[in-house]
A and B are shown apart, each in its own frame.
Chain A
Amino acid sequence: MIPHVRSGTCVGVLTLLALSTTAIAQWQGYPTPGIPRRSDGSFDASAPAPRAANGTPDLSGIWMAPRIRVDLAQGMKKGETVPFTAEGKRVFDERRATNSKDDPGARCLPTGIPVRATLQTPLKIIQTPGVTAILYESRTQFRQILTDGRPLPKEIDWPAWQGFSVGHWEGDTFVVETVGFNGKVWLDQVGTPASDALKLTERFHRRDYGHMDVEMVIDDRKMYTRPWSTFAELLFQPDTELLEYICEENERDSARMVGK
C-alpha cells in the first residue's frame, strides 16, 4: 500500500532531500551562489532584477516555463487567432490530420525557437558583452544572439534551422531579431508552420529576479497574413543545473508514429 502523503509533507520531504548533502548529485540541489535569498534560505523571486556592468538588466540564469504548452496559439491574447494564409492553413491542417507524426523535433532535429520557451525544459541564458548565448537542455541546442552592433544579414546564402540572431536593448527589454530560417522547422509541436520568409522578434523583459516575460512576434507573409504575437513566461530556476540530453542516443518514436 502507498502511504497516504499530503503534498505539504512532500514539499517538506523534497526540501529535506535537497538540503541533505548526500542528495546533491550532478549539482541538482547545490545552492546557486549570488542569488537573493530570504532569511530562511529560500530563493527570493520577487527581488529586483539584477543589472549587468553596462547598466542593462542581466538575463543570465537558468529559466523554465511554469507549465507545458505545445501550441503557440494558447499563448495569444484572448480572442485572437492565428492569421493563416491559405498556404499556412493547408500546411497546418495537414500536420494536425496526422497528429504531428512528421515533426522534425520528434526525430531529434531542432525544435522551433518559440516553443522552446513553453516546453517546460530548462534553458540557460549567458549574457556577456557582445553576445548573449542561450543553452537549451532539450536536444542540447544552443543559440548565439550577437549584440556587438552588427546588423542582420542582408542576404542569406545558407539558410539555417535557427536562423541568425542579433539583439539590442529598448529600455529594459532585450529585443532579439532573427532571420535566415530554412523553412524546415516547425514553430511548435502542433505544427504551426514557418517558411524561409520568417522573421522572428523576441522581446525579453525580466520583471524581477525570478520572472521573465517573453513576447514572440512571428512575421512570415507566406504562412500568415500579418505579424502575430504569442506570449510566454519563464521562471528562474535556483539550485539546479542543466543535465545532459543526447536525443539521438535512443530515439525510437519516429519510426512508430502512425499518425492517425
Chain B
Amino acid sequence: MSQHARLLLLAMVCGGVVAAQAPLRAHHSFAAEFDSTKVVTLNGVVTKVEWTNPHTYFYVDVTDDQGKVANWAVEGGAPNALYRAGWKPTSLKAGDRVTIVGSRAKDGSNLANATSFTLADGRCLFAGSSGPNGEATSNCRQGGR
C-alpha cells in the first residue's frame, strides 16, 4: 500500500472524529422524511452506489435470519461533503460488505438516512448526512463498531 493510500485510509478512520468540522449539505428537512428515533442497523453487501447530488445513495442487500434478502436504499451526505471528508467515489463499491447505522424513513419503506458506515475491516466512514437539527451526524464510535 502506498504512503498516500495509507494516509487516506487513516483519514477515513479520522473522518468520524473530525466530522464535526466537515461541511455537509442540508438539502432538505430531516424530520420531513426520516425518524431519528427509529434507528436501524443494516449489515449487508453493497449492490449499487450513486455518487450524486443532492445526496449519495448506497443500495445494500440485507439478509434476515430466515435467509430472506431485502434491498435497502441508504441516503448519505452530498458527494461534495463526503469528498471533502476524504471519501472518493470508489470508497464504497458494489460487492463491499458494510454495516450501516441510520434512521428509518417515515414512509416505512426500506430506506434509511445513514449515520455511519463501517467496512468489513472495521474502518468507520463519516456519513456526511444531515441530522434532525441539520448537524453533521458523525457518531462512528457510538453507531459503528
Q: Which listed residue, B11, B26, B33, B50, touches A13 by the CB 8 Å rule? A: B11
Binds B, one of A3-11, A48-56, A165-173, A223-231: A3-11
**In the bound complex, do residue A258 and residue B4 qualify as a contact, i.e. CB atoms below 8 Å apart?**
no
Q: Within 8 Å of chain B (Cβ to Cβ): is A259?
A: yes
Shortest C-beta distance, B22 to chain A (Å), equals: 9
**Contact A250-B55, Cβ < 8 Å, known A3-B13, A103-B29, A257-B29:** yes
In the bound complex, CA of A244 to CA of B27 (Å): 15
Q: Within 8 Å of chain B (Cβ to Cβ): is A22?
A: yes
**In the bound complex, do residue B23 and residue A23 qualify as a contact, i.e. CB atoms below 8 Å apart?**
no
Q: Within 8 Å of chain B (Cβ to Cβ): is A101?
A: yes
Annotate A104-131 by CB proximity to B: 1 below 8 A, 0 otherwise.
0110100000000001111000000000
**In the bound complex, do residue A250 and residue B54 qualify as a contact, i.e. CB atoms below 8 Å apart?**
yes
In the bound complex, CA of A106 to CA of B123 (Å): 31
**In the bound complex, do residue A257 and residue B80 qualify as a contact, i.e. CB atoms below 8 Å apart?**
no
Q: In the complex, which residues 200-230 of chain A have their Cβ closer than 8 Å to any Cβ of chain B?
A: none
**In the bound complex, do residue B24 and residue A256 qualify as a contact, i.e. CB atoms below 8 Å apart?**
no
In the bound complex, CA of A108 to CA of B106 (Å): 21
In the bound complex, CA of A99 to CA of B140 (Å): 27
**In the bound complex, do residue B105 and residue A250 qualify as a contact, i.e. CB atoms below 8 Å apart?**
no
Q: Within 8 Å of chain B (Cβ to Cβ): is A69?
A: yes
Secondary structure type dominating chain A contacts: loop
In the bound complex, CA of A110 to CA of B144 (Å): 35
Among A7, A11, A14, A137: residue with most chain B CB under 10 A: A14
The range of chain A's interface size is: 35 or more
What number of residue pairs across chains A and B have CB atoms under 8 A from each other? Answer: 152
In the bound complex, CA of A62 to CA of B123 (Å): 32
Shortest C-beta distance, B111 to chain A (Å), equals: 7
**In the bound complex, do residue A106 and residue B14 qualify as a contact, i.e. CB atoms below 8 Å apart?**
no
**Contact A69-B11, Cβ < 8 Å, known A100-B32, A245-B80:** no
Q: In the complex, which residues 45-60 of chain B have their Cβ closer than 8 Å to any Cβ of chain A?
A: 50, 52-55, 57
Q: Within 8 Å of chain A (Cβ to Cβ): is B70?
A: no
Shortest C-beta distance, B84 to chain A (Å), equals: 7
**Contact A256-B83, Cβ < 8 Å, known A7-B18, A100-B29:** no
Annotate B111-145 by CB proximity to A: 1 below 8 A, 0 otherwise.
10000001000111000001001111000110011
**In the bound complex, do residue A2 and residue B27 qualify as a contact, i.e. CB atoms below 8 Å apart?**
no
**In the bound complex, do residue B7 and residue A16 qualify as a contact, i.e. CB atoms below 8 Å apart?**
yes
Annotate A1-31 by CB proximity to B: 1 below 8 A, 0 otherwise.
1110111011101101100101100101000
In the bound complex, CA of A228 to CA of B105 (Å): 36
Shortest C-beta distance, A258 to chain B (Å), equals: 5
Q: Within 8 Å of chain B (Cβ to Cβ): is A157?
A: no
**In the bound complex, do residue A250 and residue B50 qualify as a contact, i.e. CB atoms below 8 Å apart?**
yes
**Contact A5-B13, Cβ < 8 Å, known A101-B32, A256-B33:** yes
**In the bound complex, do residue A250 and residue B134 qualify as a contact, i.e. CB atoms below 8 Å apart?**
no
Closest residue of chain B to A106 (Cβ to Cβ) is B28
**In the bound complex, do residue A189 and residue B111 qualify as a contact, i.e. CB atoms below 8 Å apart?**
no
Closest residue of chain A to B144 (Cβ to Cβ) is A2
**In the bound complex, do residue B13 and residue A17 qualify as a contact, i.e. CB atoms below 8 Å apart?**
no
**In the bound complex, do residue B4 and residue A20 qualify as a contact, i.e. CB atoms below 8 Å apart?**
yes
Shortest C-beta distance, A259 to chain B (Å), equals: 5
**Chain A residues in 8 Å Cβ range of B29:** 70, 99-101, 103, 106, 189-190, 257
Annotate A247-260 by CB proximity to B: 1 below 8 A, 0 otherwise.
10111111011111
The 5 closest A-B pairs by CB, nearest first: A10-B14, A106-B28, A100-B29, A250-B52, A99-B32
Beyond contacts A2-B144, A243-B83: 9 other A-B pairs, Cβ-Cβ < 8 A, are: A1-B122, A13-B14, A70-B29, A99-B29, A245-B25, A245-B54, A251-B54, A253-B75, A257-B28
Contact surface of A with B, Cβ cutoff 8 Å? 1-3, 5-7, 9-11, 13-14, 16-17, 20, 22-23, 26, 28, 64, 68-70, 98-101, 103, 105-106, 108, 119-122, 137-139, 189-190, 240, 243-247, 249-254, 256-260
